[in-house]
Structure 1
């Protein structure tokens, strides 16, 4: 692996959550009332996201969550890149006390988070979650990060539009959303 690729991978795996701590919108961001972490565990497919430099070139992203014995949540993020190996980032989330599991602090295991562990934590707030735990919208108070996730790799357009509308009501710049289906290289679109 070249030094450039190694640096790029390190940044991909660490700085996303640091940036989530920064933000521009000062309005309070409401979360769902409660999240059952056992029901939340498993794999979620990224349907759409606000563009971030650390996800540049990523498509078919997934996030897999599992519960640790100490009450924290193991996080494994994966994405595919054209003509490259899949990128994998492993981290840990801890529940923010008093949030009923709707607010988490996430930190990925890399050199940056080992150097400055508290600075490298990012906000992971569940701002919408359907009752069957099939779709979720994740954001952070500054409205710079937004992910729409689902248990399946595709969502019907009416469901997608409803989730986008909810995010827009909460102040997110939804006109900048990138849908996974539009990020997949032409030669691989038939596989979705």
Structure 2
């Protein structure tokens, strides 16, 4: 019974660490350029961000070599700010945009940067473990139309349902 339970847990956890077959993490990733504040411009809906506006993510170095993650968003329904603190670590090489992130103890999920403005690190396209998780992050509250078009095209080509995108209200 214990072995079966461990196998089920391992299968569930590894399922959160994959990525869609059509998604490949960027290479040449430079963490120091990625650190700092990002605005969520667009996303697919999921329960842990449902109803939130003004969503941001802030990344900083941890003493253990990992990355501290603070996600923040405003809930108009509750008239309050919601915040989640997590940690992230590279899955393979620190030059691959493939990290595992945890907000709940030992449970990790994939964080895959599959497109990035390599010159200025001004925007990033991020996937989770499957095509249900997708984000467009930017250093500014909005992006140029060409960046949005590129995000929609690249994401659609990779199997994401871009017709379901939520465009995050930022102030």
Q: Same fold (TM over 0.5)?
A: yes
Cα distance in 2 for residues equivalent to 1:63 and 1:26: 23
Question: Counterpart of 1:107 in 2: which secondary structure?
Answer: strand
Alignment of 1:17-28 (within 5 A): 21=16, 27-28=21-22
Contact 2:111 2:129 in 1 (8 A): no
Among 117, 123, 126, the residue aligned to 1:130? 117
Which is helix-richer, 1 or 2? 1
The answer to whether structure 1 residue 121 and structure 2 residue 111 are counterparts is no
Among 19, 26, 29, the residue aligned to 2:23? 29
State the superposition RMSD in angstroms.
2.1
Alignment of 1:62-141 (within 5 A): 62-82=56-76, 83-98=78-93, 100-108=95-103, 113-114=104-105, 117=106, 120-131=107-118, 132-141=120-129
TM-score by length of 2: 0.83
Q: Which residue of 1 aligns with 2:9?
A: none
Deviation, structure 1 residue 57 = 1.1
Which is strand-richer, 1 or 2? 2
Deviation, structure 1 residue 27 = 2.6
Cα distance in 1 for residues equivalent to 2:91 and 2:35: 17
Q: Which residue of 1 aligns with 2:161?
A: 173
Runs of 4+ in 1 over 6 A off after TM superposition: none
Contact 2:24 2:114 in 1 (8 A): yes
Deviation, structure 1 residue 80 = 0.5
The answer to whether structure 1 residue 154 and structure 2 residue 149 are counterparts is no
| Residues 1:124 and 1:26: Cα distance change in structure 2 (over 3 Å) | closer
Q: Which runs of 5+ in 2 are unaligned?
A: 1-12
Contact 2:20 2:131 in 1 (8 A): no
TM-score by length of 1: 0.74
